[in-house]
Amino acid sequence: MLADAPPIHAQVIGHSVRHRALRLVRVGAETPGAHAVRVLVVGCVHGTERAGLPVVQALRRATPPAGVQLLLLDAANPDGCARGTRGNARGVDLNRNFPWGWRRQGGIYASGSGPASEPETKAIMSLIRRERPRVTIWFHQHMDLVDRTRGSDPAIIARYARTARMRVRTLPRLPGTATRWQEHVRPSSTAFVVELPAGTLSRAAVRRHVAAVQAVVGAVAGASAPSTTGASTRSAVSPRQPRFAKPGPWLTFASPGMCRRGVRPATSSARPKRSSSPDDADHTGPAACSIASRTSSENSRRTWRSTSKPVQLTTKS
């Protein structure tokens, strides 16, 4: 129903080394007289880790609660995500290029010629400074866990993990990462990494992660609602809330294929593989999808099944 479709606004927030646009999709209306709470979701930072793209693309068809906007950035690294390389076109690992804790590194973790040396990093920093997202979710692969990032609201992270049926671990702090910089410049916000499993996500897994984002958005919306108790809203999720959040009425799905081209819908033959390297996931193709029309034909209430399996904490992407 067109009348029910959420306001969607696309904008270019910067360009890559090869002049590819960093495209941001904003979903949800601004609350009159108030600044909407933002939840930023980033689908692809390392071009070898693109499993989060269908999740971000499905979220374009979400309708957030009043007062909350979803900011959806398919590709923070358009060159790498299009070419299937971890780094950008200069071979820089953007998740080592942020200025807080930056350290010169080489190889696959090449951190650039200096802090925030890359145009993609600068564009993302400007976006975050401008929009001040309350929560930022960064999709990576392949460790199959949610990183309990220091300085973040543990209840938000637990909420995501429970809904997505993933385990939570605290990974080592690494130099020059986006979340570490966000922790420094926006200590009251929550920014965390979801390490998806290797390979592509099944449709059920995509729905589970969309529901997990939805659960986070719902928690943020609840925490942002006017309170008469004067209680702190730093922790957005009450420990007494249900163990597993269910999809609310504000989210429906369009086509099962999620996008017309680019990201291949996962099939039962797309068998995830385990690895100790962040760079050997199978690749899905160019990160280019069009915004699908919004329908209510797909049901979002199918039973979720856990896909989490133990993996070794040998590396962090």
Query: How far is it, in rounded angstroms, from Cα 150 to Cα 181?
Result: 11
Q: How far is the CB of 197 from Zn ion (least distance, A)?
A: 13
Q: Which of 47, 57, 53 is nearest to 84 (CA)?
A: 47
Q: H-type helices in the chain, by residue range?
A: 53-59, 78-83, 119-131, 154-164, 178-185, 203-224
Q: How far is the CB of 46 from Zn ion (least distance, A)?
A: 4
Query: How far is it, in rounded angstroms, from Cα 78 to Cα 288?
Result: 10
Looking at the Cβ atoms of 201 and 236, the one nearer to Zn ion is 201
User: What residues from 29 to 48 belong to the interface with Zn ion (CB under 5 A)?
Assistant: 46
79 touches Zn ion (CB under 5 A): no
Query: How far is it, in rounded angstroms, from Cα 124 to Cα 6?
Result: 24
**What are the beta bridge partners of residue 9?**
26
User: What residues from 105 to 144 belong to the interface with Zn ion (CB under 5 A)?
Assistant: 140
Looking at the Cβ atoms of 108 and 158, the one nearer to Zn ion is 108
Looking at the Cβ atoms of 68 and 124, the one nearer to Zn ion is 124
Q: How far is the CB of 110 from Zn ion (least distance, A)?
A: 14
Contacts of residue 130, Cβ cutoff 8 Å, sequence gap at least 6: none
Residue selected from 202, 214, 224, 317 as contacting Zn ion according to rule CB under 5 A: 317
Looking at the Cβ atoms of 132 and 274, the one nearer to Zn ion is 274
Using Cβ positions, the residue closest to Zn ion within the complex turns out to be 317
Lookup: tokens for 156: 């938000």
Residues in the interface with Zn ion (CB under 5 A) total 4
Residue selected from 17, 24, 26, 49 as contacting Zn ion according to rule CB under 5 A: 49
Q: Count of CB atoms within 10 A of residue 114's CB?
A: 11
Looking at the Cβ atoms of 214 and 317, the one nearer to Zn ion is 317
Query: How far is it, in rounded angstroms, from Cα 76 to Cα 7?
Result: 23
Applying CB under 5 A, the residues found at the interface with Zn ion are: 46, 49, 140, 317
